[in-house]
Structure 1
Amino acid sequence: MILKFKHSVCFFLLCVLFLSNAISGLETEKSLTVSYATNKPLIYPENQRAQGVYAEVLRAVFEDELGIQLKFENRPWKRAQIDVKMGRADIIVTVPTTERLRYVVPSVLPVYQLQRRLYTYPGHPRLDEILTMRSVQDVIDARLKMAAVIGDGWFKEKLLSRGVDANLVPDPRNSFRLLSDRRTDLVITAPSVYKNVMDTEAIEKDIFDTGVNLESISAHILMGKRSPYISLMPEVDRIISEMRRSGQLEAIYKKYN
């Protein structure tokens, strides 16, 4: 009886040890999750793999240099940000707005520069005025109708919070469709977003690229404060700095531009 009890105890301890090692192994192999919305050529899904500028930069930093595997999850932009905020994902790459800084730690160094450019429709009755705009304040003062993507933190912080009349839509294509139908006056977005939409929508003749860049903004790697990898951010900055110095970042930009 005692021998049987000892065998049972030994078997139980072996099971505990096996499970402990298995769990430890799973924790060691845990990947870092990147949440993103399609924004070609910056980041987009192709052949079941994330491609683009941001995807290559992130793989160079985390997989090549830090040995941490990445898992990319394609989401609507608002959902992508919520996933990081709630700890369901680790990283987004975007502008570190005041609101986002409540739940992320940004890389000190940017990984890309984005222009915020004005788009309207051909023959807009106030086109001459639009072409003279040079600042966000100019746009606010004009009191024109705008369209923007839900979750666009820059638009929310710079314009929506200051009373601009806007249609908020789930996707950049919706913004440009409203512009094409002349149901809004302005869209402000990056040229890369415009190009991506024009590649998929047959509305380019209905959109007027003013060539007016209101601001140049920096996209950073934003690590969620709930991520177990948060302590790596100083190392991330060291790697980005080295990629800039060596020309690796510039080579990635040229590949997609």
Structure 2
Amino acid sequence: MLKWTLILLLLSWRAAAFEPPVKVLVYGDDAYPPYSYVENGIARGIYSDILRRVFEDMPGYKIKIVPIPWKRGLKMLKSGRGFALFPPYYYADKRLYISPYSKPILNEEVVVFCNNDSVQDRPLNNWPSDYLGLTIGVNEAFALGGNEFWNAVKAGKITISEAKGSRPSLLKLYEKKIDCYMNDRLSILWEIKRMTTEGLLPEDWKLTLGAVVSAEQGYLGFTTIQPEKYPYKDDFVETFNSILTQLKEKGEIEVIVKAYLEKDL
């Protein structure tokens, strides 16, 4: 009897040991450089690099990062067709279909850059009261700016102009179709450098840095819809958070960010 028990235990252990990894699709914003974007069909950017490093230490899963338009990615989570998306900011009161959020991956600073002519002799320190009457460019489906800003938009005191990513918004800013553009500071500067290198913007183009709107953090967000499709969700989230914390403590996340920002464009 003992012999058969040991055999059964051994077979069970072998079955568990050779159980194939769970296949998981994780979606990422395809138009948010340098943090997350697509290049030749492949997800690139700081977040993509960090997540790939985390996923290396998750052998129970075979994870593929799929770049996708941000608005479509949110719809995927809202319908339950998508499991996880990066890098949403933490808006638990606005996106009830996202929960939980992972531990924060990176800190970002949201700012406003403006055309010099549009804001000449205008104070710019107080957001959004100093920007009443202006047209502000924002990324499509991004919920940046704060409640006071969006209340001013609803009241018609500020006009917004949505675009898919930084590049079309910066072209609007250069062509003076909008007065200011709100987004992450690094993302704006990165795209300006790329567009200048490509000859789309003049090297002597000058902008005025306005208010710091907020300090945000990027996360990996998980859908709350159709939970039966993702029975591994709790384990995935717990494992992801644990490994991310370990990599931060070792300084690996900082190394990834630093190395990425030092790349020549």
For residue 188 of structure 1, what is the amino acid of its counterpart?
M
Q: Which residue of 2 aligns with 1:33?
A: 26
Match of 2:52 in 1: 59
What residue is the counterpart of 1:250 in the other structure?
254
Whether the aligned pair in 2 keeps the contact of 1:63 and 1:69 (CA below 8 Å) is no
Q: Give, in angstroms, the shift of residue 38 of structure 1.
A: 2.3
1:103 aligns with 2:119: no
Letter matched to residue 83 of structure 1: M
Per-residue displacement from partner, 1:93-139 (whole Å, max 9, x unpaired)?
A: 22021455411124452111111111111333x33424x414x3434
- Counterparts of 2:162 and 2:54 in 1: how far apart (Å)? 34
The alpha-carbon deviation at position 158 of structure 1 amounts to 5.5
- Are 1:186 and 2:165 counterparts? no
1:149 is aligned to: 139
* Matched residue SS, 1:153: coil
- 1:131-166 per-position Cα deviation (integer Å, ceiling 9, x unaligned): x414x34345x3322121220122475623442311
The residue that corresponds to 1:200 in the other structure is 195
What's the counterpart of residue 221 of structure 1? 220
TM-score of the aligned structures, taking structure 1 as reference length? 0.76
Q: Please tell me whether residue 88 in structure 1 is matched to residue 84 in structure 2.
A: no
Match of residue 239 from structure 1 = 243
Paired residue total: 228
Q: Helix, strand or coil: the match of 1:31? A: strand
Change in Cα spacing, 1:144 to 1:254, as seen in structure 2 (3 Å) is same
Partners of 2:247 and 2:92 in 1: how far apart? 27
Deviations 1:24-48 (A, max 9, x none): x89x542233242222221223354
How large is the Cα RMSD of the aligned pairs?
2.7
* Structure 2 counterpart of 1:230, from 227, 233, 254: 233
Measured after TM superposition, the shift of residue 169 of structure 1 is 2.3
Query: Matched residues in 1 for 2:148 and 2:222: separation?
Result: 23
* Aligned with 2:110 (options 98, 116, 128): 116
The 1:70/1:161 distance shift into structure 2, 3 A limit, reads farther
Report the alpha carbon displacement of residue 54 of structure 1 after superposing the two structures with TM: 0.8
Give yes or no for contact 2:34–2:45 (8 Å, CA) kept in 1. yes
Further displaced range: 152-161 or 50-59: 152-161
| Residues in 1 aligned to 2:209 and 2:239: alpha-carbon distance in whole angstroms | 40
Amino acid at match of 1:184: I
Q: Give the deviation of 1:66 after TM superposition.
A: 4.6
Match of 1:127 in 2: 120
Residues 66 and 104 from structure 1, CA distance in 2 versus in 1: closer, same or farther, beyond 3 angstroms?
Answer: farther
- Which of 173, 176, 182 is the equivalent residue of 2:167? 173
Confirm or deny that 1:160 pairs with 2:155.
Answer: no
**TM-score normalised according to structure 2 size:** 0.74
Conserved? CA contact 1:143–1:165, under 8 Å: yes
Mean CA deviation greater in 240-249 or 100-109: 100-109
Partner residue in 2 for 1:15: none
CA 1:80 to 1:62, structure 2 compared with 1: closer, same or farther past 3 Å?
Answer: same
Identity %: 18
Match of 1:14 in 2: none
Amino acid at match of 1:200: M
CA contact (8 A) 1:121 1:206 kept: no
Counterpart secondary structure, 1:69: strand
Q: Which moved more, 1:28-37 or 1:241-250?
A: 28-37
CA distance, structure 1, for counterparts of residue 94 and residue 53 of structure 2: 24
Q: Secondary structure at the match of 1:239?
A: helix
Shift in Å at residue 171 of structure 1?
Answer: 3.2
